[in-house]
Amino acid sequence: MLVDNGSSVNVIFLSTYKQMNIDVPLEPSTEPFYGFTGDCVTPKGIVRLAVTMGEEPLAAHIFMEFLVVDKRSAYHEVLDRPVLKELWAVTSIHHLCMKFSTEGGIATIRGTQREARKCYRNALRKAEKKEINMTILDIEMEEASRATSEDVEMEKASFIEDIDPRITGTDSQTSSVEELENFLADSDDPTKKL
């Protein structure tokens, strides 16, 4: 389980949800969100579960909503800020623990360096390769020997449109070097210009 102080949603991964063999149907949800990997994810649904944090007599019992996500992860679940707020929990990265009040006293849930490192290594291994968009500025005619010169020019123009906002007609704060004005930096030396 990852306790993420920066997350605003609880996440349970589909593989974990299936392994739990619980008879709680998913509520439909198609609103995408951006995960901690930066990519856009559409959940399979939402499930509301009763969760016990800690062990008796130092346990808290709360209901949590989880977004069920079909994504590979080193973790089974991600807990968010609202849960921490509801529990009045305090986390310590240095001590790898979380403390919160219960009716029986202060509960402490501890992680281990070994498990934290294992999850980190698994997360790096399971990280999906991201698609890299490249812009080609020029095409050698030898490489495009099968294409006609019109095809090459059209392809050049479509790639350049991606990087020059003036071609697409969108307003931008950028301008080319040709449109800049020169200013003298030193009135005694006319060769020093900005």
Would you state the pLDDT for residue 157?
A: 47
pLDDT in tens, 78-108: 777 888 888 888 888 888 888 989 999 999 9
Alpha-carbon gap, residue 168 to 77, rounded angstroms: 43
| Closest C-alpha among 29, 144, 3 to residue 84 | 3
Do residues 84 and 53 touch, judged by C-beta distance below 8 A? Answer: no
Q: 74 is written with which tokens?
A: 């080193």
The two three-digit tokens of residue 191, written as one number = 């060769």
- 66 vs 178, higher pLDDT: 66
Read off the pLDDT of each residue in 186-193 and give the average, rounded to a whole number: 76
Percentage of the residues of the chain whose pLDDT score is greater than 90: 3
Whether residue 40 has pLDDT greater than 50: yes
Q: What angle do CA 95, 77, 98 make, to 5 degrees?
A: 25
- Summarised one tens digit per residue, pLDDT across range 122-136 is 766 655 555 555 555
User: What is the pTM (predicted TM-score) of this model?
Assistant: 0.55
Residue identified by tokens 């019992």 is: 61
Query: What's residue 106's pLDDT?
Result: 92
CA distance linking residue 37 with residue 128, whole number of Å: 9
Domains and CATH numbers, the chain: 2-126 (2.40.70.10), 149-193 (no CATH)
At 83, list the tokens.
Answer: 């849960």
